[in-house]
Structure 1
Amino acid sequence: MNAAYRQLTIFQALMTGHLVKKTELANQFHVSPRVIQRDFSQIRQFITEQHLLYQLSYRRQLGGYQLITTQDSVSKQTILILIKIALASRALTRPEMTQTINGLLALISPEDQAEIQPIIKNERFYYQPVHHGRSLRQMVWQLSRYITQKQSITITYTRQRGEFVTRTILPEAIIFSEYYFYVIAYNPRYHQNLFYRVDRIRDLKTTQQVITRTRAERVEEGAMRQFLQYMQPGKKITLQFKFWGIPEAALDRFPTAKITTRYPDEQAVLITTSTFDTGAKMWLLSQGANVQVVAPHDFATEIQQELTRMLARYQS
């Protein structure tokens, strides 16, 4: 075995997180410890010349050498949190979720991987994706590139009841919410930004059609998230509602919400927020008797009418 092959073998062991010991390597390759020390010097020189983000370090307590990264690394705690969030999303098919988790785990050492594996084992085994069954990673990446390129596209889209339609749009943002990825896109036919679920896009292709928008029509997805519920835009309103539930549940649902009045005797609060009415209505109805809409008056009336229709379902 020549020196180059030996040094590559040692470097590979270091790159995969192993602790290497001079005496053990000397015995493995049938050379003297001094030769292995020269190999370490060559590896250090290679790391320096190639500007690699590693440092060959001697771990005195362990009695061997390891590669230590010199860049900000992702901690095992961060990787665990990201995997937990990914599993809870249910957004990816099982093969895509496996690839995603394996990719995240590959960012940390084998020792840290071994520590995380038993923590996520049960959730991985019982992972159940949403029912559309479509692989989305490539589609989301492709749409994201069109957004940065300001490229208009023509899509074949499946509407809620299975009807296929063709739309030419300018994709502007990708948002994930409530199990699904959405692309927010400007539709020149309707002169507004609309939401398209990515898993319902059956085909897409670029188009030469130039789509222009006014400044007011452009999307700022970060700001829009402050007002969106269940990816239902609707009409923007200033909403006030009395709430008997846990206040944090409402404040977390509406990012711009504030408690404006407290009612200690009733164990209730008055919450004021800016939001879109359609998604807000869906959440408010899910809270049952814990909520009472105060304003706007016409929105409160709309909630009352919906509750009357709900009650009629059980009386018929």
Structure 2
Amino acid sequence: MSQEKEPQIHRILSMYERLTNGETLIKKEEAARFQISEKSIQRDIGCIRNFLELEKSNEYVDYDHSKKGYVLETKTPSWLRNEEIFAILKVLIESRAFPKGEMDSLINKLTHLATKGDQTIIKQMMANEKYLYVELVHQKELLDVLWQLSLAIQAKKVITMHYKREFDERASERNVKLVGIMFSEFYFYLIAYPVGKDFDYPTIYRIDRIEHFEQTSIPFKVPYDERFQEGEFRKRVQFMYPGELINVKFKFTGPSQQAVMDRLPTARVVEKIDGGVIFEAEVFGNGIKMWLLSQREYVEILQPLDFKVDFIDGIRRIKKLYDC
């Protein structure tokens, strides 16, 4: 390589690196930086453009009139905008899903997806929330466990796990067929069918309560028309208590009908009445009871009848507690 060509390569690599970091290249400043003519800088920029075209890259160099310089653009944006990074970080912190060590690592990595010039701004925005972050009591690292369980779901092999409920003295061994992972109300949950038990609906396990697990060589099959769909399951479950799948009909006279639709994605308006609405929804029974009881002053159960009896009995027990 000749001495004449080597400096040009260094210039091009330097400019390309700064373009990828979100910097603006101003021709006059670049000429002063490398002590060459502006025409030479223009040729270097042309080389970068040609390289990106030959590589069929999603990126291209464009002149930004507002910045009076050259910037790297994408044909279809492949990075997260600052607004998107900030929103994801806010949701992530509010979830309290991970212990502090893992949460800090995720925040730092997401922040580094922003352009260098904006990373400082995002760090300043998140500094106080990182400092005040309160991790959950279990403090268990979850990222590796979640990934390994996800691989086991894809393999469709039975796993043996040692699971310890909150008030158990020691973990019990369980063989289960994994079908999904979900997150709700601070915790990650494993959705699975116990081996040897014929249930119409899956069992739910909190992942932080799994002490350890191993994948067996025992395969299982799920017919396509019976496959577990996390999205459909999520629409019908409340507080991760499945119970039996039922159709519930109730009158709601609360201030926010929209809140009902948001809480119960399967809910539909059957009839509008004076002072309220009659809703019908397909839901899993145990969790929906908890939510309806929390709205007891605005709710009247219409169907099914046994559900109505349980609901009234639940209200009586709550009133008895308040009377004590």
The TM-score normalised by the length of structure 1 is 0.89
Instruction: Map 1:276-291 to 2 at 5 A.
Output: 276-291=284-299
Cα deviation 1:259-310 (Å, max 9, x = unaligned): 223332xx22222111111000110111231222222111111122223333
Which residue identity is paired with 2:273? Y
Say which of 44, 61, 69 aligns to 2:66.
Answer: 61
**1:297 partnered with 2:302:** no
d(CA) in 2 for partners of 1:307, 1:60: 67
Mapped pair 1:158 → 2:164 = yes
Q: Distance in 1 between matches of 2:234 and 2:158?
A: 23
AA partner of residue 58 (structure 1): Y
State the distance in 2 between where 1:69 and 1:270 align.
50
User: Where does residue 188 of structure 1 map in the other structure?
Assistant: 195
Verify the 8 A CA contact 1:180 1:197 in the aligned structure 2. yes
Moved more, 279-288 or 154-163: 154-163
- Find the counterpart in structure 2 of residue 72 from structure 1: 77
Q: Which runs of 5+ in 2 are unaligned?
A: 1-5
Cα distance in structure 1, aligned partners of 2:112 and 2:151: 25
2:3 is matched with none
Query: Amino acid of the residue matched to residue 235 of structure 2?
Result: Q
Change over 3 Å in CA distance of 1:160–1:191 after alignment to 2: farther
Within a 5 Å distance, the mapping from 1:90-101 to structure 2 comes to 90-101=96-107
1:184 and 1:194 in contact (8 A); partners too = yes
Tell me the residue number matched to 2:264.
254
Q: Are the counterparts in 1 of residues 156 and 221 from structure 2 also a CA contact under 8 Å?
A: no
Match of 2:235, SS? Answer: coil
8 A contact 2:96–2:134 mirrored in 1: yes
- Report if the CA contact (8 A) 1:263-1:269 is conserved: yes
Name 2:245's counterpart in structure 1: 236
Q: Which residue of 2 aligns with 1:168?
A: 175
Q: Matches of 2:65 and 2:29 in 1, distance apart?
A: 15
Please give the secondary structure, in 2, of the residue aligned with 1:208. strand
| Secondary structure in structure 2 of the residue aligned to 1:182 | strand
1:32 aligns with 2:32: no
> 1:99-178 counterparts in 2 under 5 A?
99-111=105-117, 113=119, 116=122, 120-162=126-168, 163-178=170-185
Secondary structure of the corresponding residue to residue 52 of structure 1 = coil
Deviations 1:229-284 (CA, angstroms, capped at 9, x unpaired): 111110111111222212112221111112223332xx222221111110001101
Displacement of 1:195 after TM fit?
1.1
* 3-state DSSP of counterpart to 1:270: strand
Distance (whole Å) between structure 1 residues aligned to residue 41 and residue 20 of structure 2: 17
Q: CA deviation at 1:314?
A: 4.0
Give, in angstroms, the shift of residue 62 of structure 1: 2.1
Q: Residue type of the partner of 2:63?
A: Y
**Does structure 2 conserve the Cα–Cα contact (< 8 Å) formed by 1:188 and 1:211?**
no
Q: C-alpha displacement at 1:79, in angstroms? A: 2.8
Tell me how large the CA RMSD over aligned residues is.
2.4
Query: In structure 2, how many angstroms separate the alpha carbons of the residues matched to 1:307 and 1:82?
Result: 39
C-alpha separation between the residues in 1 aligned to 2:183 and 2:38? 56
Compared CA separation, residues 62 and 217, structure 1 to 2 (3 A): closer
1:32 & 1:17 partners in 2: Cα distance? 24
Choose the corresponding residue for 1:86, options 77, 81, 92.
92
Q: CA deviation at 1:130?
A: 2.4
**Partner deviation per Cα, 1:40-64 (whole Å, 9 max, x = no partner):** 2332233233333210112233222
CA contact (8 A) 2:157 2:218 kept: no
Amino acid at match of 2:134: Q
Q: Which residue of 2 aligns with 1:310?
A: 318
The one-character-per-residue Cα deviations of 1:172-226 (angstroms, maximum 9, x if unpaired) are 1111111111121222132332111111122122211233456676312222122
SS in structure 2 opposite 1:209?
Answer: strand
Q: Which amino acid aligns with 1:103?
A: K
What's 2:57 paired with? 52
Q: The residue matched to 1:66 in structure 2 has which SS?
A: strand
* TM-score normalized with structure 2 length: 0.87
CA distance in 1, matches of 2:30, 2:302: 76
Q: Report if the CA contact (8 A) 2:58-2:76 is conserved.
A: yes
